[in-house]
Amino acid sequence: MNLTTRTGTPLRRRSLHEELTEALREMIVSGQLPMGQKVPEKDLCELYGVSRTPLREALKVLATDGLVNLEPNRGAWVSAITVEDLDEMFPVMAALEALAGELACKQITDDEVEAIRALHNRMLGHYKAGELPEYFALNQQIHEAILAAAHNDTLTVHYRSLSTRVRRGRYMANMTRERWDQAMAEHELILDRLAARDGAALSVILKDHLEKTSVTLRESLLGQQGG
């Protein structure tokens, strides 16, 4: 049998702690494990049918990602996001996304632009239909696609780490109509400048877009904390 056509095998097997890390991350992001709550080791072990060793390994990883806090001899807590955290995280995310835009413009192909345009149009549909959750999902995908077009794994890893932490909770849901209109307009600009390969302008727009998103989230989070 000739195997030469088969290129560098991905075929990467996954270990238990890796799968657990992903599963737990998903549970935290989706809110199944609420912020501020203690991570119930025993229950999770039973839920996934594993012993505590791999679970604890997964928690160590999540701790470096900032999704849980480990208190020595006291266990793990799902980390809560404060307004101060957001104020710290968004400038960093904005800088990273601006870079992603710049890099993407340098090498993005027409096909990739068209794929993003397709996502954009679907998002536009959900916007017009007033379907907020679907809008958010597409919005997320577009930002991921820009990141992917930058072809820089390091950038992707760091951006995603922050994005995952921010994306938690449900406080995104209460976005005003005005802000939504504005965000959609910004996305038109993003697509336009990306198609034109105008990296300088795109990075400014992305930075600005994320800054405004930050303000929205901030107020929403404040509203939750205050009331």
Partner DNA sequence: GAAATGAATATATAATGCAAAATTAAAAAC
Partner DNA sequence: GTTTTTAATTTTGCATTATATATTCATTTC
Per-residue binder mask for a copy of itself (CB under 8 A), 82-121, x = binder: ---x--xx-xx--xx-xx---x------------------
Interface residue with DNA, options 21, 28, 54, 171 (CB under 7 A): 54
Residues 35-54 that bind a copy of itself (CB under 8 A): 53
Phi, psi (5° rounding) for residue 75? 100, -165
Contacts of 83 (CB under 8 A, 6+ apart): 218, 221, 222, 225
Q: Are 86 and 217 in contact (CB under 8 A)?
A: yes
d(CA 172, CA 133): 10
17 binds a copy of itself (CB under 8 A): yes
Interface residue with a copy of itself, options 140, 141, 152, 164 (CB under 8 A): 152
Structure tokens at 172: 């995104």
Least distance to DNA, CB of residue 55, Å: 7
Under rule CB under 7 A, how many of the chain's residues touch DNA? 23
65 binds a copy of itself (CB under 8 A): yes
62 binds DNA (CB under 7 A): no
Least distance to DNA, CB of residue 53, Å: 4
In terms of CB distance, is 45 or 184 closer to a copy of itself? 45
Contacts of 100 (CB under 8 A, 6+ apart): 146, 147, 149, 150, 152, 155, 159, 206
Interface residue with a copy of itself, options 22, 31, 60, 133 (CB under 8 A): 60
In terms of CB distance, is 90 or 127 closer to a copy of itself? 90
Q: Are 196 and 100 in contact (CB under 8 A)?
A: no
DSSP 52-110: HHHHHHHHHHHHHTTSEEEETTTEEEEPPPPHHHHHHHHHHHHHHHHHHHHHHHHH--H
Q: Rule CB under 8 A: which residues touch a copy of itself? A: 12-15, 17-18, 53, 56-57, 60-61, 63-66, 70, 72-73, 85, 88-89, 91-92, 95-96, 98-99, 103, 152-155, 157-158, 161-162
